[in-house]
Amino acid sequence: MRGAIDRPQLESALRHAQERKELRVHYQPRVDLHNGQIVAAEALLRWQHDGALVQPNDFIPLAEETGLIQRMGTWVLGEVCRQQRDWLDRGVPNVTIGVNVSQRQLRARAADEELPALCRRLLDAVDLDARWIELELTESLLMETPERTIAQLQELNDAGIKLAIDDFGTGYSSLAYLTQLPLSYLKIDRSFVNHVCTEPNSAAVARAIIGLAHSLRLTVIAEGVETAAQLGFLRKVDCDEMQGFYFSRPLPADQFEAMLVAGESIAVSAGPSTETLLLVDDEVSILRSLTRLLRRDGYNILTTTDPREGLEMLSINDVQVIISDQRMPLMAGSEFLHRVREIHPDTVRMMLTGYADLESVKDAINRGAIWRYLTKPWEGDELRRLVREGFREYVLRRGNHGNAISTTPA
């Protein structure tokens, strides 16, 4: 929020926001990772105040505290229903819209209209089918769920309104809730998505969440996807949908509509899978001579001097065999290959070292990070034979466990 506006002022401004018609709904598209198409969107509240667009984090907490969120939430739901009706009437290619629901909206007091009745009334008011809206509930909201809330969620689900669990992984998850509530979607929190390409632990958490969700028949949505590398990783680990700045920021209704009309999508390359080799060495001359040597065997060869970039390349490309130098200033080869092992366990990894590095080779072997090591200077034919074997090893591994998630062979 700009300037030093104090709390009472903000509160009073917020109280009048609705009648002054200062509230807006922006829409952020959700993309299906299997076909690249927009399949849904999330409605995100904005407050046009004093010439600035105020973001939810700057006013939602206050709205929650003061109870204003209840009225605002009702307005958002009504506005989304109205907008959906308008899009349908004008023949705009329509998608489902997810609406965020706050604690307060589920904890209506006895005198208030409960959420299922409210949804029903707002849908009926514009004669809209329930399948055009979804509700997003946070983990913490579900955790505090008394029996009455579970009944409400059941009622919503029975009415045809799908439910999503939002920001998954950030609250205290009681996995029991996942089995008891009528959920359709699980949204992986941005904090995990952020580091999936570079941090083995984030990658492991994302993989595990996707596996868990799929075994519970939930559709998984990754939030906050900002790079092609993150997108590539998510696709590899079979995430279903994504939402994030990489594809689009939240947009005003007219701009989102233009996107739907234009049929914007993400290219999904199901290109021919060729044998791809990644070479990582901080010395460009070594990359060059390795490339010259191995090119004649018909591999698709990727090179980089920076292991971090290497990690990104692995998310974007289908790489089967990796050769990495050990001594690199930005990240040691053993550390790089260890991370690769965690994030892309099926890859076949080799290390190229000088004799002086035997300690780190031993360490890498013992951690299962490498399959073979080679010494500098190398013997051309031997190196070519090893790389060939590496690709064969990859095929064997895939044959043994297909797309298994948890096996991590060296």
Residues that bind Mg ion in the complex, under the rule CB under 5 A: 100, 136, 166-167, 223
DSSP code per residue over 192-235 = HHTTTTT-HHHHHHHHHHHHHHHHTT-EEEE----SHHHHHHHH
Q: Applying CB under 6 A, which of residues 29, 169, 244, 307 lies at the interface with ligand C2E?
A: 244
Binding of ligand C2E at residue 345 (CB under 6 A)? no
Surface-to-core class of residue 117, CB atoms within 10 Å of its CB (0-12 exposed, 13-18 middle, 19+ buried) = middle
Q: Which does 56 bind (CB under 5 to 8 A by kind): Mg ion, ligand C2E, none?
A: ligand C2E
250: helix, strand or coil: coil
Binding of ligand C2E at residue 234 (CB under 6 A)? no
Binding of ligand C2E at residue 79 (CB under 6 A)? no
Instruction: Determine the Cα–Cα distance for residues 226 and 323; give it in Å rounded to an integer.
Output: 28
| Residue 190 or 214 having the CB closest to ligand C2E | 190
Contacts (CB under 6 A) with ligand C2E, residues 123-182: 136, 166-167
Binding of ligand C2E at residue 333 (CB under 6 A)? no
Instruction: Determine the Cα–Cα distance for residues 192 and 55; give it in Å rounded to an integer.
Output: 22
Could you tell me if 243 and 288 are in contact, meaning their C-beta atoms sit under 8 angstroms apart? no
Q: Applying CB under 6 A, which of residues 36, 56, 78, 252 lies at the interface with ligand C2E?
A: 56
Binding of ligand C2E at residue 245 (CB under 6 A)? yes
Pull the structure tokens for residue 337: 């290959």
Q: Which does 250 bind (CB under 5 to 8 A by kind): ligand C2E, Mg ion, none?
A: ligand C2E
| Residue 100 or 303 having the CB closest to Mg ion | 100
Pull the structure tokens for residue 56: 């939810």
Minimum distance, C-beta of residue 246 to ligand C2E, in the bound complex (Å): 6
Minimum distance, C-beta of residue 405 to ligand C2E, in the bound complex (Å): 25
Cross-strand pairs, 41: 29, 97
- What residue type is assigned to position 29 of the chain? P
| Residue 44 or 319 having the CB closest to ligand C2E | 44
Minimum distance, C-beta of residue 242 to Mg ion, in the bound complex (Å): 12
| Residue 225 or 280 having the CB closest to ligand C2E | 225
| Residue 189 or 346 having the CB closest to ligand C2E | 189
Could you tell me if 204 and 233 are in contact, meaning their C-beta atoms sit under 8 angstroms apart? no
Nearest to 324 by CA among 393, 275, 373, 397: 373
Pull the structure tokens for residue 320: 């089967």
Q: Which of these ranges, 14-22, 32-40, 50-58, 306-314, lies near ligand C2E under the rule CB under 6 A?
A: 50-58
Write the DSSP symbol of residue 173: -
Minimum distance, C-beta of residue 184 to Mg ion, in the bound complex (Å): 14
The label of the residue with tokens 């970039």 reads: 309
Q: Which does 84 bind (CB under 5 to 8 A by kind): Mg ion, ligand C2E, none?
A: none
* Phi and psi angles of residue 323, each rounded to the nearest 5 degrees, phi first: -120, 125
281: helix, strand or coil: coil
Residues in contact with ligand C2E by the rule CB under 6 A: 28, 44-45, 55-57, 60, 69, 73, 76, 100-102, 136, 166-167, 190, 223-226, 243-245, 250
